[in-house]
Amino acid sequence: MTLDLSAFLKSMLSVSGLSGHEAPVRKIIQDAWMPLADELSLSRLGSLHALQRGVAPEPRPSLLAMAHMDAIGLIVSGIQDGFLRFTQIGGVDARILPGQMVMVHGRQELPGMVVQPPARLLPAGFQDKPVPMEYLWIDLGLMPKEVERLVRVGDLVSFAQPPFETGGETLVGHSLDNRASVACLTHFLDILRERPHAWDVWAVASVQEEVTLGGARTSAFQLKPSLALVVDVTFGASPGSPAHLTFPLGKGPTLGWGPNIHPYLFKSFKDLTERLEIPFTVEVMPRHSGTDAYGVQVVESGIPCMVISIPLRYMHTPVEMVKVKDITRAGRLMAEFVAELPVDYLQKINWED
């Protein structure tokens, strides 16, 4: 398979797949992974599992490579005079909502727009400030009776900003958190398909990371890997952002360092990245990483984890931005690590920082 990474990413960004409702994007990922895997399956929660078998004699150790496929979004919480009240699924900043195009997934797909009342009609405290979500509406441009017929409380609402490319291999769109990492995982599988590797490899597109970490915990429990690599996005540098908390686009992935990351795995990745001359930055994660690794690490007796992140600007907005070469670099790094992973690696690993 020769993966057109940008086209694959755009296909994932053109469908919904909110946390707890990932089926639309899972179908696209499943089709892409079919030729790259020896076996595909679903967990009971809906995470997608792809197995590439290793070449070492059985019983072989196994490695889990995980990226979550779910996205933040909205859900209808009320209907009044043909307008929709809504609340959030995952972390949505109400400041970015007014004027956004959305798709309401009712009895049919219904395009709409998030709107706010004129300032003079808002409570006095909000007339010159960002408007809280409770005062915002979705306008479908339909008559009230038509809205009542087509929309129900509990219907999902996804962002409808179409993906687009800017100069310099930069892609913009909603849900790049974390479908950029799913693309990375797919690139990883594409490379490994042509590279013998001793270990069994489980690639997992997990569900519900934005709300429960349920996919990470349940898939790790089901698959019981010896090691885990978790791929996610991190905060990309932009004007006005603090330099010590953000990371430049186009300068490679970040390697996480903190309590969710096993020190021996971190050293292995740092040494490999330097040897391959892949640019990278160390990302300090002093508490939990805010990724699926937080769930995977503590399953059963504990699973040694590594976190690799892709810098992304404007996180949790409909116009997230990534550099495609950061995605491919992260995928190549993971593939090289697995291809070189000796069967006795677990005998060397120890918790020393």
CA distance linking residue 53 with residue 67, whole number of Å: 19
Q: How many residues does the structure list for the chain?
A: 353
AA letter at 135: Y
Helix, strand, coil percentages (3-state) for the chain, rounded to 5, are 30, 30, 40
The per-residue pLDDT for 341 is: 97
The per-residue pLDDT for 195 is: 95
With both helix axes pointing from N to C terminus, report the angle between 176-192 and 23-33 in degrees, rounded to the nearest 10.
Answer: 20
Q: Please report the domains of the chain, with CATH numbers, ordered by start residue.
A: 5-71+174-348 (3.40.630.10), 73-159 (2.40.30.40)
Q: What is the mean pLDDT of each run of 10 residues along the chain (353 residues)?
A: 85 96 98 97 98 96 98 98 97 95 98 92 80 94 97 98 90 97 98 96 98 97 98 95 93 97 97 98 94 96 97 96 97 98 92 69
The per-residue pLDDT for 218 is: 98
Tokens 């709107």 label which residue? 115
Check whether the bond before 350 is cis (ω within 30° of 0). Answer: no
Give the residue among 333, 299, 307, 290 at the shortest CA–CA distance from 229: 307
Residues 6+ apart with CB under 8 A from 3: 32, 186, 187, 190
Q: What is the pLDDT of residues 60-102, one digit of tens each?
A: 999 999 999 999 999 999 999 999 999 999 999 999 999 999 9
Q: What is the pLDDT of residues 121-136, one digit of tens each?
A: 888 777 778 889 999 9
Give the residue among 337, 236, 318, 326 at the shortest CA–CA distance from 280: 326
The per-residue pLDDT for 1 is: 53
Residues 6+ apart with CB under 8 A from 344: none
How much is the pTM?
Answer: 0.95
Cβ atoms of residues 73 and 158 within 8 Å: yes
